[in-house]
Amino acid sequence: MTETRKDLIPEYGPLHGVRILGLGSIVAMPHAGNLLADLGAEFIQIERPGMGDSLRMLAPFSKKTKVSNGWMQDARNRLSITLESNLNNEDAKAVFLDLIKEVDIFMDNMVWLKKLGIDDDEMLEANPKLVICHISGFGQEAFGGEEGVSGRASFDMIGQAYGGFLNLNGEPDGAPMVVKPYLNDYVSALNATYGVLAAYIHAQKTGKGQVVDVAQYEAMARILCDTFVTYTENGEDKERTGNKTTAFQPYGLFFDKNGEYVVVGAFGRNVYNRFLEAVGFDKEYFAYEVAGNGVEAVMSERGQELDQKIKEWCSQRTAKEIEDTLNAHRVPASKVNKASDALNSEHFKARNNFVTYTDQTSGEEVTAFGVVPHMSETPGKVWRGAPAMGQDNELVYGELLGYSEEKIEELKEKGLI
């Protein structure tokens, strides 16, 4: 008996019934699709025949299966089909438009999609309710921008740099530090997910689709808190401060007695006073206004003395002792965990943060991070590991599009799928 998509894809999550088509590779667009698929959407990714998603080739690889570890983590819960992405080929374009007619959302991170032979108007003509999402480094020209900039190529660190984010990360006397892994790509994916969901709701209400434009640099610029207003109001460019902030303390990274890192944060008068109680420091001598709040207090002689005493206090205790003492006084603190720490953490385990599923390329089981956020009535799930390239061609082209076996074979012979 031939397996159907209904047999393969279980009904789960709040997004069950939403179908997404993705064209692109690596992180931002595919991750956006997977976030939605974790919550029940059907996500079909187009991969170019013989090449596939570049994430498949991204190190490190499993020592056991030789499959990319990133691919096994991020490519689950999707259907993989192959299709020639140069849509100047009329046969490939016809197949692509047939797919567009059957989906609710189309996402890409191809940058030069129009040069590949397709534009937004053609897609919306084929499917007027379609939500189109473009993810690129600098945005689509239709939404404005300096001539020649919108079409520039980009990667994660380029968006971090152009958006102003990179300048703020690193030590004051050192070079800017790229935040890993691929923070800009993942933040751009989050922008894409809420953008397409908002547009999808609008399309269901009005019957009218639209285009969502996500620029990597804008995704980073939007999370810079007071950075731009500090310049427009005060004429000051914010600079790197390392792991500390000069606005209040304690809020930074400290060493325990074994040289392990611990982060401690105490923002606000009440938390600050609870911190002083926890560590046994004099609350009058290190009064909040004198040593804890504001640049002048933090940088004052008393403020510097407090910072030194905190360092000494931490250096005399283990990370667990620091965590236990401060958290008992409701002061936020945490050891800096590695992957091994997380996988052995009772809290991670109790939250069911890790799931085990079968990687479709190797046929082997892999343990990876699970679904977030948790939902009480419509929880997400991982129903499938990362697929082999083109694994679902017959399922999608045959069942969803209704192509005959002869037509599918013809497309294969032409090298289009």
pLDDT digits (tens, 9 = 90+) for 264-313: 999 999 999 999 999 999 999 999 999 999 999 999 999 999 999 999 99
Q: Phi-psi category of 145—alpha, beta or left, where left has phi over 0 and alpha has psi -120 to 50? A: left
Please tell me if the domain spanning 5-222+352-413 has the same topology as the one spanning 251-337: no
Report which residue type is found at 300. Answer: S
Give the pTM: 0.94
Torsion on CA atoms 122, 125, 126, 130, rounded to nearest 10: 100
Is 16 in a helix, a strand, or coil? Answer: coil
Evaluate the omega torsion of the peptide bond into residue 373 and state whether it is cis, within 30 degrees of 0: yes
The CA distance from 376 to 109, in Å, is: 33
* Sequence-distant (≥ 6) Cβ neighbours of residue 127 within 8 angstroms: 100, 101, 103, 209
Cα 387 versus chain centre, distance: 20
What does the pLDDT profile of the chain (417 residues) look like in tens digits?
A: 467 787 889 999 999 999 999 999 999 999 999 999 999 999 999 999 999 999 999 999 999 999 999 999 999 999 999 999 999 999 999 999 999 999 999 999 987 888 999 999 999 999 999 999 999 999 999 999 999 999 899 999 999 999 999 999 999 999 999 999 999 999 999 999 999 999 999 999 999 999 999 999 999 999 999 999 999 999 999 999 999 888 999 999 999 999 999 999 999 999 999 999 999 999 999 999 999 999 999 999 999 999 999 999 999 999 999 999 999 999 999 999 999 999 999 999 999 999 999 999 899 999 999 999 999 999 999 999 999 999 999 999 999 999 999 999 999 999 999
- The alpha carbon dihedral of 408, 413, 416, 417 has a sign of positive
Q: In what order do the strands lie in the sheet with 210-215?
A: 79-82, 42-47, 19-23, 105-108, 131-136, 210-215
Per-residue confidence (pLDDT) for residue 1, from 0 to 100:
47
Is 254 in a helix, a strand, or coil? Answer: strand
What pLDDT, in 10s, does the model give residues 349-371? 999 999 999 999 899 999 999 99
Structure tokens at 298: 């933090």
Beta strand 131-136 pairing with 210-215: parallel
Largest CA distance in the chain: 84
CATH class, 5-222+352-413 region: alpha beta
Structure tokens at 360: 């479709």
Is 201 in a helix, a strand, or coil? Answer: helix
Exposure class string for 199-213: b at 16+ Cβ within 10 A, else e = bbeebeeeeebbbbb
Per-residue confidence (pLDDT) for residue 2, from 0 to 100:
64
Is 253 in a helix, a strand, or coil? Answer: strand
The CA distance from 95 to 396, in Å, is: 11
Q: Where are the beta strands (DSSP E) in 75-172?
A: 79-82, 105-108, 131-136
Give the number of residues written for the chain: 417
Q: Where are the domains of the chain?
A: 5-222+352-413, 251-337
Structure tokens at 121: 């108007």
Q: Say how many CA atoms lie within 13 Å of 43 toward its Cβ.
A: 32
CB 20 within 8 A of CB 36: yes
Give the CATH number of domain 251-337. Answer: 3.30.1540.10
Per-residue confidence (pLDDT) for residue 151, from 0 to 100:
87
